[in-house]
Amino acid sequence: MNEARKTAKIYLGRHCKTEWNLEGRLIGTTDLDLCEVGWNEAKDTLPVVERYGFDRIVTSPLKRARQTSQYYADNLGIPLDVHRDLRELDHGSWNGQKYEDLLRDPSGEFSRWFIGGDTSIPIPNGPETLEEVQARIRKTIREIALKYPGEKVLVIMHKHIRSLLTCYLLGESLSNFRKNINEAVEPIELSDEDLAKLL
């Protein structure tokens, strides 16, 4: 790695699974532990993470992300930092509900918001809009990149905020939020070009 780099090299990862992931429920900011499947997923993913030679991990404060990150950090012997603004999108009154139930009514607000991409529909009792969450994650990745110059950093986050970040990096409307959701837990490299868009 070039130690003269003025920013960190950023890789985006995702937490491993909880029971609600397996049940197809919206988790949002509900603070759940990893389930047995999730712990096994972390163990299976560790060799993949190890190959990157990360210098540190920065994680969301939510348990599922912290537990995933702590497992990696402990096994790799690298520092772990927590950044509160890596937390997931708060789904308000939709938190805890199953996607299949919310999508049963194709004319319902959730269907029009999630499938139809009508982001003018506010999240019921949600504290942030999609625009605000997108601005939050952009600012957070910028802060991390500037705080650890020359380091290779794995950022463990959540699928919905990663999708909002992806929309920004691709120059796409927030209506493409669902299309850009990526369920993978393995690290995704943020190119220097993408990082430059955040600085």
Selected from 1.10.10.10, 3.20.10.10, 3.40.50.1240, 3.40.190.10, the CATH number assigned to the domain covering 9-198 reads: 3.40.50.1240
Q: Decide: 187 and 11 in contact? Cβ < 8 Å.
A: yes
- Domain assignments of the chain as residue spans, ordered by start: 9-198
Q: Which residues contact residue 1 at a Cβ distance below 8 angstroms, ignoring those fewer than 6 apart?
A: 9, 150, 151, 152
Q: Residue 4 has what pLDDT? A: 59
Q: Residue 1 has what pLDDT? A: 42
* Residues linked to residue 25 through DSSP beta bridges, in sequence order: 98
Supply 191's token pair: 């190119």
Residue ranges for the chain with pLDDT beneath 50: 1-3
pLDDT digits (tens, 9 = 90+) for 2-42: 445 799 999 999 999 999 999 999 999 999 999 999 999 99
Q: Residue 5 has what pLDDT? A: 79
Alpha-carbon distance of 193 to 12, in angstroms, equals 15
Three-state secondary-structure class, residue 95: coil
Q: Among 41, 88, 60, which residue's Cα sits nearest to residue 185? A: 41
Q: Residue 112 has what pLDDT? A: 94
pTM of the predicted protein model? 0.94
